[in-house]
Amino acid sequence: MKISVVHQYFVRSTSAKIALGFLLGAILAGSLATAAITAPSGVKTCVDNRTQALYLSKDGTCSKTRTSVNLGGPTIDVKLIAQNVTPSIVSIKVSTPTGGGSGSGSIYRTSATSSYIITNSHVVEDAAISGDITVEFFNGDVVDAAIVGRDATYDIAVIQIKRGKLPVVTIGDSAKISVGDPVVAIGSPLGLASTVTSGIISALNRPVTTGTTGAESYVNAIQTDAAINPGNSGGALLDSQGRIIGVNSAIATLSSDGASGNIGLGFSIPINEAKRIIEELIATGKSTRPVLGVFFDTTFTGTGAKILRLSPGDAAEKVGIPVGSVIRAIDGVKIADPVGAIVRIRSYAPGSSVNVQVDLPTGGQKTFRVLLGSAPSN
């Protein structure tokens, strides 16, 4: 069966018929439910700091001269992470004249009187023209929110609430994560607030595109098997220290059935990529994207991304990349198709220098050092 990526961790309800891939109806985010969490298993031991000898810990504690080691169990304390981070994760409800839906968000910055919350663009897009947004906290309090800015191409949005002195999520470093690292996801799947799941990082630099033709979002995604479902959109993917390393954005689903629930393939926007967009939205309400200045040949069936034409005066033309070249790698990352090329380029900030390896139309290969341009993202 064909596997397709769908846009929604967001639960949408509408007065019209809902398209395939969406869950019918929206469960309100008013109820508070936290998933059961299993404490780390394994054998509690202590390592002597001087001799490195290993000792069994009868009560799970170690003396000051010994370091605690958990043998045979996970290296992540899900329970502790849930306790510390859940107050920084919120449920988001959108109401419009034709329906609405619910998603998730993370408190990113706070002052004495207001706070910024990060989420997905697709969570709040229905309220961009008309509609209301409310935010529900861990303790059940509900406040109104307004859109500060959103970037549909990166699927990132920032909303603001008039409440300050809130616990903010700690920002991690998505450049330092590896396949196999343990992760925790917190959000509001199906409107069930403060739901906690755990898993591992399954893959990195996974090219994912979502949305409709002409309004696509491109994500150089972190893939995880932590259970993520509709309503988790905009929630946090956390590392073993409880730091946010990704903004959950998409799932894969089997296209042969109508369900869009978790099948162990979730995708998250790396926080290092999202952070630039977030800061620009907070500062100006708008964001930018990097520009290579090429248009791809969508009829090309080979491996790589074939350049159909160049954008005059932009980065690719400036360094002399010829029309008809096939991009095979960008900074050493292999490119399988045009989506992979777009996703990889958009993972950089405008003004970045990247190595673009191409098969030349005249034969042979060449690597061009390109200084990426800048353009408004929306």
Residue 100 CB partners (closer than 8 Å, separation 6+): 12, 13, 14, 26, 93, 94, 126, 131
Q: Please tell me the number of Cα atoms within 13 Å of 83 on its side-chain side.
A: 6
| Number of C-beta neighbours around residue 65 at 10 A | 10
2 DSSP assignment: -
Closest C-alpha to 300, from 364, 358, 365: 358
The separation between CA 278 and the C-alpha centre of its own chain, rounded to angstroms, equals 12
Catalytic entry in 102, 188, 194, 233: 233
Catalytic entry in 77, 126, 151, 155: 155
If you count DSSP H runs as helices and E runs as strands, how many of each does the chain have, helices first? 5, 25
Element (H, E) at 91: strand 89-96
Check if 122 is active-site. yes
How much is the CA Rg of the chain, to the nearest whole Å? 22
Closest C-alpha to 317, from 355, 370, 361: 370
Check if 155 is active-site. yes
Task: Tell me phi and psi for residue 191, to 5 degrees.
Answer: 80, 5
Would you give the end-to-end CA distance of the chain in angstroms? Answer: 35
Closest C-alpha to 235, from 180, 277, 193: 193
**H-state helical runs in 159-284:** 271-284
| Number of C-beta neighbours around residue 75 at 10 A | 10
Q: Please tell me the number of Cα atoms within 13 Å of 53 on its side-chain side.
A: 5
Check if 88 is active-site. no
Residue 139 burial class via C-beta count within 10 angstroms: exposed 0-12, middle 13-18, buried 19 and up: exposed
Catalytic entry in 106, 122, 225, 325: 122
Question: 206 vs 187, 195, 217, CA distance in Å?
Answer: 22, 25, 13
The answer to whether residues 237 and 183 touch, using CB atoms and an 8 Å cutoff, is yes
Task: Tell me phi and psi for residue 348, to 5 degrees.
Answer: -95, 165
Closest C-alpha to 138, from 36, 30, 51: 30
The answer to whether residues 216 and 5 touch, using CB atoms and an 8 Å cutoff, is no
Q: Which positions are annotated as active-site residues?
A: 122, 155, 233
